[in-house]
Amino acid sequence: MWRAAVAGGVEFVPGQVITTGTNPLAKDTQYEAIQRFQEVMRAYLTHSGQKDYADKDHFLKDDGDGEMMVAGWIAGEVLSQALGSREWVKDRKSFLASLYNQRRYVVDDIVIGDYGGDCVTVGCIEQFVYLFLRAFFFFVFIDFFVLFFIKFLSFFLLFLYVLLSYFV
């Protein structure tokens, strides 16, 4: 991606990383993951010996830094999960194959994935319905209502799938 940007005339700056906001802000405590992030980050800023942030709540006061800290924390959680299975990391070939075998990463109530493979599990169906409804209604509904509806709809779809599988 960066090569295409440079080819298009964007100046390459070594050591510079640019991201877009694809994760909740550090203040979004309606997410269990963000509540845990805040605890972990406060402990890190207080006890790690780092010298960059004297204020243990810096990530709550600076949205830019907070968003980057959340993104880094989520990336670390995902990496920990990706490397956490002996079956997945027994060799390079197994690890690479596992990345595209319907992998999903769950960090408390944040779901990242699914990647590759066929989607036939309840979790896959729930996530598909959730993403479809969020895109369709573009956050018109309150998340609580959407999540409740998704659970209902996904179980209904699963019921239909099982019922149709029985008769076919």
The more confident residue out of 140 and 155 is 155
Yes or no: say if 111 and 120 are a contact pair by the CB < 8 Å rule: no
Residue 63 lies in a domain: no
Residue 38 lies in a domain: no
pLDDT confidence tier of residue 141, bands split at 50, 70 and 90: very low
Residue 54 lies in a domain: no
Residue 12 CB-half CA count within 13 A? 9
Residue 75 has pLDDT above 90, yes or no: no
Please write the tens of the pLDDT for every residue from 31-54: 888 999 999 999 999 998 888 888
pLDDT of residue 4: 76
Residue 142 lies in a domain: yes
Residue 143 lies in a domain: yes
Residue 161 lies in a domain: yes
d(CA 166, CA 115): 28
Please write the tens of the pLDDT for every residue from 106-128: 778 777 765 555 555 555 556 66
pTM above 0.85, yes or no: no
Q: Letter for the amino acid at 54?
A: A
Residue 95 lies in a domain: no
Structural domain boundaries, residue 145: 118-168
Residue 101 lies in a domain: no
User: Total structural domains in the chain?
Assistant: 1
- Which pairing describes strands 103-107 and 110-115: parallel, antiparallel, or unpaired? antiparallel
CA 41 to chain centre: 18
d(CA 30, CA 53): 25
Residue 80 has pLDDT above 80, yes or no: yes
